[in-house]
Amino acid sequence: MKHIWNKDPRGMLSFENLQKIQVLECHNLKHLLPASVARSLSKLEYLSVFDCSVLKEIVAEEIFVEEAVATRFIFPRMATLELHQLPKLRTFYHGRHTIEGPVLKKLTLYDCDKVKIFPSGNVSKHETDKKQQQQPHFLVEKVR
């Protein structure tokens, strides 16, 4: 399988009731979801991707997006995000973006060597200014 969707449906598809996504051994899949579909997953609780050797991004970059505006992905119910054996995975979404997961309890990255994780509290303003064009692939904030 190369695509779940071959083009971004730009809002024509909506899966607001989808609660679980599990992908296993899809060795030709480069992107899991188009951005418009990812933004509609308000009830998603579980996302798991295992052993997809060419997957580069979870969400495919939109073609017609203003570079200055960051895309927001909000997953209000996602408790588990598991990414295993994804040697080409670099980022959740290639463009400027934020991901919100207020109830995320489990984030597992295993054998995803190209992904970099930056805790938000460890990035200084100087480092942020210096690397303004380079966004971390995953930014993890501690919640009390």
pLDDT in tens, 125-136: 444 444 444 454
DSSP single-letter state for residue 134: -
Beta strand segments in 7-115, E:
20-24, 31-34, 46-50, 57-60, 71-74, 80-84, 91-93, 97-100, 106-110
Token pair of 42, please? 């308000």
Instruction: Give the span between the Cα atoms of 39 and 128, in whole angstroms.
Output: 26
Q: CA-CA distance, 48 to 125, in Å (whole number)?
A: 33
Identify the three-state secondary structure at position 109.
strand
- Can you read off the two tokens belonging to residue 133? 């064009």
For residue 60, count other CB atoms closer than 10 A to its CB.
24
Query: What does the pLDDT read at residue 63?
Result: 67
Q: Where are the domains of the chain?
A: 20-140
User: In whole angstroms, what is the distance from residue 64 CA to residue 45 CA?
Assistant: 29
Give CA 88 to chain center in angstroms: 14
CB neighbours of 125 closer than 8 A, spacing ≥ 6?
none
How large is the average pLDDT for residues 21-35?
91
pLDDT, tens only, 36-95: 888 889 999 999 999 999 999 999 877 665 666 778 889 999 999 999 999 999 888 887
Task: Report the pLDDT value the prediction gives residue 39, as an integer from 0 to 100.
Answer: 87
Model pTM?
0.75
pLDDT at 118: 57
Q: How confident is the model at residue 115 (pLDDT cuts 50, 70, 90)?
A: confident
